[in-house]
Amino acid sequence: MDTITAPPAEQTVIPDRPVPPARPRLSRRRVWLLPVILILGLAAVLPAIYLSATADPQGHLKNLPVALVVEEQNPSATSGTATTAADQISAHVGEAVQLVTMDRGELAKAMAEDQVAGAVVIPATFDADIASLLPGATTTVVPTVTILTNAGDGGLSNGLVIRNLTPVLRGVAQALGAQLADSSAAPLPAANQALLAEPFRVTSEPFKQLPDDSGLGTSAFYYALVLVLLAFIGGSLVGPLVDGAVGFLPSEVGPKVIRRPYIAVTRRHSFLSKTGILVAVSPLAALAVQLVAAAVGMTAPDPLLLWLFATTTIAAIGTAVLALFAAFGPGIGSLVNTLLFVALAMVSSGGVVPTEAVPAPFAAVSHLAPFHHVVEGTRSLFYFDGNLAAGLGSAWISMVAVGAIGLLGGLLVTTAYGRIPAFTRDPKAAA
């Protein structure tokens, strides 16, 4: 019998479905944990720096330098009340103010060099005028003790000087009047008692008026801030742009992404190239800042010196910024640069709040923070005729030191990293 073989069953062929590309696991902890930690850290650190340093200037005020000037009295007046008043002022100012006794000539020099925040001046006619308030005088003149402020130190510094000295002087006036009344052998007439209730007046005025376009003594601070931000942001821009040009990083502009072939460049060569670009553009950037400032009416007595100082500042701080980027990379480097050159430096600069009115740690940082010296330099150039003793000399030294340390530190770090194969910047080798 023939065997009948059934035809094979027809098989349904299921076409292969395209496999979707693997999606990155953005939910993985290593993707989001570090950014979250850093942002939360900044959320705690930044207000801790800014608010703790500026919340209570009066409470932190200590040893604000103020001159005490007792002008030479008229020899015919022998009451000695000017000396008595000066002694009482010195005894009651407390630790918030540090009084330094000097004469008029020394005061002018101290103000020109920004060595004092203000002064108390007892006039040459003080003894004679006080004597005129007692019975028997033919004329009556109430003397005036003047509080002089250093307008170049800014409005907050001036306010602290007036706020701390005015109550002291009024208290001394009342005590002096009571002392004079008690020392009288006979009861005083009502008119003399009224005069001795306030035997001298207290007024305040700036030692030297600032120009109208000085921002009440804050324009120099903001000029310095612009220079430091230019250096900081300039370094932040130069790094990724150069890295994108050599193919180390993709260049992304809006939706467009450009991936260039990688050009083998050592870390040291890359650092020097970035530094060279920033230093080369610094003179033009300084000139642009100065022209804009001049357009709004903000000028310095010596424009050339201001331009040289601004150029040096941008180049020096920019070099230090690039060195820190080379040491820590763009992510952590941005954090370190922000803290060193902006956050900590700003509150310890003395540009808004005097360093005598911030907590001790911030006052200590001010001696090392470049921003403090930049503020001192611009303040000297705008308000103190470019006097080297008013902060410009130390500012020049600081900028040269910052630039040299940044350059040497960047070279050392990039050279050391370049000798370790595991630290190569070649994307193919790293893969």
How many Cβ atoms are within 10 Å of 329's Cβ, its own excluded?
12
Give the mean pLDDT of 38-49.
87
85 pLDDT exceeds 90?
A: yes
Which residue would you say has higher pLDDT here, 35 or 404? 404
Residue 327 — φ and ψ, nearest 5°?
-80, -40
Query: What's the average model confidence in pLDDT over 79-95?
Result: 91
Which residues fall within 8 angstroms of residue 428, CB to CB, at 6 or more apart? 262
The region, left, alpha or beta by phi > 0 then psi within -120 to 50, assigned to residue 282 is alpha
**Minimum mean pLDDT among 139-143, 254-258, 408-412: which range?**
254-258
User: Percent of the chain scored above 70 by pLDDT?
Assistant: 91
CA distance 275 to 231: 11
- How do residues 2-22 score in pLDDT, each as one tens digit? 555 555 555 555 555 555 555
What's the confidence (pLDDT) of residue 1? 46
- State how far the Cα of 336 lies from the Cα of 46, in Å rounded to an integer: 12
Q: Tell whether the model's pLDDT for residue 254 goes beyond 90.
A: no
Number of other CB atoms surrounding residue 324 within 10 Å? 22
State the residue for tokens 């006619």.
125
CB burial string 200-217: b at 16+ within 10 A, e below: bebebeebeebeeebbeb
Structure token pair of residue 386: 């470019």
pLDDT surpassing 60 at residue 335:
yes
Taking residue 350's Cβ as centre, other Cβ atoms within 10 Å add up to 26
Q: What pLDDT, on the 0 to 100 scale, is given for residue 91? A: 93
pLDDT of residue 47: 87
Q: What integer is the mean pLDDT of 195-208?
A: 92
pLDDT of residue 25: 67
Which carries the bigger pLDDT value, residue 193 or residue 404? 404
* 375 vs 215, more confident: 375
Indicate the average pLDDT of the chain: 88
CA–CA dist 387, 114 (Å, integer)? 9
Q: Any residues with CB less than 8 A from the CB of 107 and at least 6 apart, and which?
A: 67, 69, 116, 119, 121, 148, 207
CA-based nearest residue to 313, from 388, 389, 395: 395
pLDDT digits (tens, 9 = 90+) for 384-413: 999 999 999 999 999 999 999 999 999 999
**Cα 337 from Cα 317, distance rounded (Å):** 10
Band (331; pLDDT cuts 50, 70, 90) = confident
Lowest mean pLDDT, pick from 126-140, 156-170, 268-282, 289-303? 126-140
Helix or strand holding residue 374 (H, E): helix 370-383
